[in-house]
Structure 1
Amino acid sequence: MLVARDAADAVLGQLRATAEALTVGARTHRDVVAAARTLTQHAVPTTVGARLAGWVRGVDRAAVRLEAARDALPAQLGGAAGTLAASVDEFGVGFAAALPAAYAAELGLAAPDAPWHTARWPITELGDALVQALDALGVIAADVATLSRPEIGELAEGSGGGSSAMPQKANPAESVLIRSAALRAPQLGATLHLAAATAVDERPDGAWHAEWPTLRELLRLALGASAHAAHLAAELRLDPAAVRRNLELSGGRILAERLARVLVPRIGAERFAELLTGDAPLADRIRELPEAADLDVEGLLDPAGYTGLAPGFVDELGGDS
């Protein structure tokens, strides 16, 4: 429990540093309009700030859960089979009953309600919190890795990793390491639950022994991934020109949701679907419609005018993450 507490402290510090750096980035890029992607395709406009704010919220929630799990880590002093019979026999009932709490206070751990040889919730709750932290960091890493592809180029790590065979590459090395940890974590968390579910008798035969190396590995992954995430967040670079270029790839069709609400009542669904086809500039095609003569076409096709609550999501971030 002492090792787990110290490791959780370190992970929490890195999670907070990650959230703070991303919050700065979200506020800096609050109004940078970008293409939102759903099922890998352009959907509607969003903002870079809103995307980063979503990352912050995931990290913050994981930190809340990890802090709670860390603070609940109890000391264990239960005797051979959880009865403290030897302490009762030696020192009396009152002394034996007070002993675990005194022991916990000395170590700076939570006082247990009773010995927990087979009540493994302290381990499973810690494991779940660590998995959630790695999930949150994995989302960030996956987005950064995707958006740093040369054909997208919107984000880049501060210093990419090189390649021994391909010197032109700047690999998203930290994102790769974080994603690797995030992909491994759920199975480790599942092993902790399986061990807890088979913690039989008053001291389990094998469940503990599966639990120990699993928890150590999960703590190692969380320590490494959170350290990389804090550095990644602090050094993350945005290319506004690439963001703008990608936003314009569809020639205004990224605003089809908005246009449908305005034009379908005027020209019908079939003509609207036809309007979106072909390579001709969408603005010109709309201006050619007699039914659209009174419309502000330029305003309708301005992505900055269709970001909804995205800027507000940045404004709602707390001052301290």
Structure 2
Amino acid sequence: MTGSPSGLFGELFVDGEMAAAMSDRALLHGMLGFEAMLASALEAESMAPQGTADVIARQCDPDLYDIVEIGRAATLAGNPAIPLVKALTARVAAVAPEQAKWVHFGATSQDVIDSGYVHVIGCGLKLIDLRLVRLASAMRVLAETHRTTPMIGRTFLQQAVPITFGVKTALWLDPLLESRHALHDILAAPVVQLAGAAGTLAALGDEGDRVQARFVELTLGAGSSLIPWHAQRHRIARLAAELGILTGNLGKIARDIGLMAQTEIGEVAEPEAPGKGGSSAMPHKRNPVLCTLILAAAQRAPSLVATMLSALPHEHERALGGWHAEWPTLPELFKVAGSALAQTITLIERLQVFPERMRANIDLTQGLVMSERVSLALAAALGKAKAHHLLEEASRACIAQNRHLREVLAAMPAVTEHLTAEALADLFDPTTYRGASDAIIDRVLARAAQAPLPRAAAPTREYRIIDA
């Protein structure tokens, strides 16, 4: 990761790359890009004189503006677009007074801010997409490497039946692939905003429709909606929900690994590093700090998603608070999801796996976890109910006598009449009790290995006018 957020918590909750993508400068860059493209559209449709777009674009460099000063003025104005447009107009007027009137012509503050956030969202989604690709690659390796590594499956936190670590990893991966497709679709179909004061572009008169179409063409190339979304926020809410789902699935991975890393279980361990996971009081501790941070993100994300969903009912043609609630919330959700992704990449790429401990935990109950398999084998001869009852009786004896279930069964004539010692031994081999595990793993790996999704172009052309 590049860069480091300053502060007492360092990069525990947000990494430098995502912080930069969600920064005030990134938003300012997008807002100025909107103004530059609007000028281009006005000139292309012969509303503004030739040369207007170039004059305005030259003043759309984020480095020309004082973010702190704009923020101070935004406190009084109610949003940052108002002081930004004022500052941009002043700069244009200083070099070409006759063209200053075309700055922000026909637009409204929400057009500027919404389109600015389209840029920010695009930057964030590209970063998340890259991280999902990297994480998926690491998890594919883990699933294939441990395709046949037996471990105990657990339901209600209790031992159930053997599975493989490969199938567990594949089931971690599958929902992440779904998230990548969903988020990539959003990245590939950005929708900018140019609708004017109440969504009708009335200030542009009969030219409004043509200017808007040209603006979208110049900005995105094609494909963006020409319908105003000042008060229709379903796309933003859907994006928030997808980020929340992604973060929750990362939390599932962290939860499983944290439980598997418990001292008494010891099946996996987080990557080792000097000073990592220590305790201020207990020198022997090796805390699962990556899992802790991923789970912290998973616990924070739902409230942020809820804020975005609660902001959906905007009043009439412009929201009274709902739109404003989105401003700090969506970037924070990107930071939370991005941080969780970064931590999960580190966790999975360097995860320590201990197959011998996995096997030891299968054997912990002296064969009880294989009772289902033996019962099914006996059912063919005894019937399902009788076989089940026989295994219940044998399981109680196993616990009471502290003997392996195989030994108890080998001493029961009702069992040995139908199963030889060799057959019993085979039935207690967890490596051969995989069911459809290989098929499940193959399906997930095939999905992960499909041709990579196409890299989406930059979300809007205005953001390439001036390098961020």
Q: Same fold (TM over 0.5)?
A: yes
1:150 to 260, 263, 272: 263
Query: Which secondary structure does the structure 2 equivalent of 1:276 belong to?
Result: helix
Is residue 176 of structure 1 aligned with residue 299 of structure 2?
A: no
8 Å contact from structure 2 (residues 194, 212) kept in 1: no
Residue number in structure 2 paired with 1:166: 282
Higher mean C-alpha deviation, range 95-104 or range 295-304: 95-104
Query: CA distance change for structure 1 residues 163 and 65 in 2, over 3 Å: closer, same or farther?
Result: same
1:280 to 403, 410, 422: 403
Residue number in structure 2 paired with 1:214: 329
C-alpha distance in 1 between matches for 2:413 and 2:369: 23
Query: CA distance change for structure 1 residues 148 and 251 in 2, over 3 Å: closer, same or farther?
Result: same
Q: 1:103 offset after TM fit, Å?
A: 4.7
Is residue 304 of structure 1 aligned with residue 434 of structure 2?
A: no
C-alpha distance in 1 between matches for 2:300 and 2:229: 28
Q: Equivalent residues in 2 for 1:82-121 (5 A)? A: 82-88=199-205, 92-105=207-220, 111-121=224-234
Q: 1:73 offset after TM fit, Å?
A: 2.6
8 Å contact from structure 1 (residues 255, 301) kept in 2: yes
What do residues 124-151 of structure 1 show as CA deviations (whole Å, max 9, x unaligned)?
Answer: 1111111111122111111111111111
Residue number in structure 2 paired with 1:141: 254
Q: Equivalent residues in 2 for 1:192-207 (5 A)? A: 192-196=308-312, 198-207=313-322
Equivalent residue letter for 1:219: F
Q: 1:97 offset after TM fit, Å?
A: 4.2
Query: Which secondary structure does the structure 2 equivalent of 1:42 belong to?
Result: strand
Residue number in structure 1 paired with 2:198: 81
8 Å contact from structure 1 (residues 69, 125) kept in 2: no
C-alpha distance in 2 between matches for 1:15 and 1:136: 12
8 Å contact from structure 1 (residues 178, 225) kept in 2: yes
Equivalent residue letter for 1:112: S
2:186 to 49, 53, 69: 69
Residue number in structure 2 paired with 1:27: 144
Query: Which secondary structure does the structure 2 equivalent of 1:45 belong to?
Result: strand
C-alpha distance in 2 between matches for 1:134 and 1:93: 41
C-alpha distance in 1 between matches for 2:124 and 2:281: 37
Residue number in structure 2 paired with 1:16: 133
C-alpha distance in 1 between matches for 2:329 and 2:208: 37
Residue number in structure 1 paired with 2:25: none
2:414 to 291, 306, 315: 291
C-alpha distance in 2 between matches for 1:269 and 1:140: 34
Q: CA RMSD in A?
A: 1.8
Query: CA distance change for structure 1 residues 298 and 46 in 2, over 3 Å: closer, same or farther?
Result: same
Equivalent residue letter for 1:247: I
Q: Equivalent residues in 2 for 1:213-292 (5 A)? A: 213-263=328-378, 266=382, 268-277=387-396, 278=399, 279-292=402-415
Residue number in structure 1 paired with 2:123: 6
| Structure of greater Rg | 2
C-alpha distance in 1 between matches for 2:151 and 2:209: 66
Equivalent residue letter for 1:259: V
C-alpha distance in 1 between matches for 2:328 and 2:339: 16
Q: Percent of aligned pairs with the same residue?
A: 34
What do residues 230-265 of structure 1 show as CA deviations (whole Å, max 9, x unaligned)?
Answer: 111111110111111111111111112112223356
Unaligned residue ranges in structure 2 (runs of 5+) = 1-117, 453-468
Q: 1:180 offset after TM fit, Å?
A: 0.7
Query: CA distance change for structure 1 residues 270 and 102 in 2, over 3 Å: closer, same or farther?
Result: closer
8 Å contact from structure 2 (residues 213, 226) kept in 1: no
Residue number in structure 1 paired with 2:10: none
What do residues 37-88 of structure 1 show as CA deviations (whole Å, max 9, x unaligned)?
Answer: 0110111110000000111112111111111122233111111111111123
C-alpha distance in 1 between matches for 2:133 and 2:161: 31
C-alpha distance in 1 between matches for 2:211 and 2:409: 83
Query: CA distance change for structure 1 residues 207 and 14 in 2, over 3 Å: closer, same or farther?
Result: same
What do residues 271-310 of structure 1 show as CA deviations (whole Å, max 9, x unaligned)?
Answer: 4311101222211111111122241110111111211011
8 Å contact from structure 2 (residues 375, 387) kept in 1: no
TM-score (norm 1): 0.93
1:185 to 288, 301, 308: 301
C-alpha distance in 2 between matches for 1:269 and 1:45: 19
Aligned pairs, number: 316
8 Å contact from structure 1 (residues 75, 103) kept in 2: no
Equivalent residue letter for 2:406: A
Equivalent residue letter for 2:181: V
Query: CA distance change for structure 1 residues 93 and 218 in 2, over 3 Å: closer, same or farther?
Result: closer
C-alpha distance in 1 between matches for 2:208 and 2:226: 16
Equivalent residue letter for 2:233: R
C-alpha distance in 2 between matches for 1:116 and 1:103: 19
8 Å contact from structure 1 (residues 118, 202) kept in 2: yes
8 Å contact from structure 1 (residues 88, 96) kept in 2: no
What do residues 157-192 of structure 1 show as CA deviations (whole Å, max 9, x unaligned)?
Answer: 112521222221111111111111111112211211
Q: 1:110 offset after TM fit, Å?
A: 5.5
Query: Which secondary structure does the structure 2 equivalent of 1:248 belong to?
Result: helix
Structure number with higher relative contact order (C-alpha < 8 Å, ≥ 6 residues apart): 1
What do residues 200-225 of structure 1 show as CA deviations (whole Å, max 9, x unaligned)?
Answer: 11111100111111111101101111
C-alpha distance in 2 between matches for 1:94 and 1:237: 59
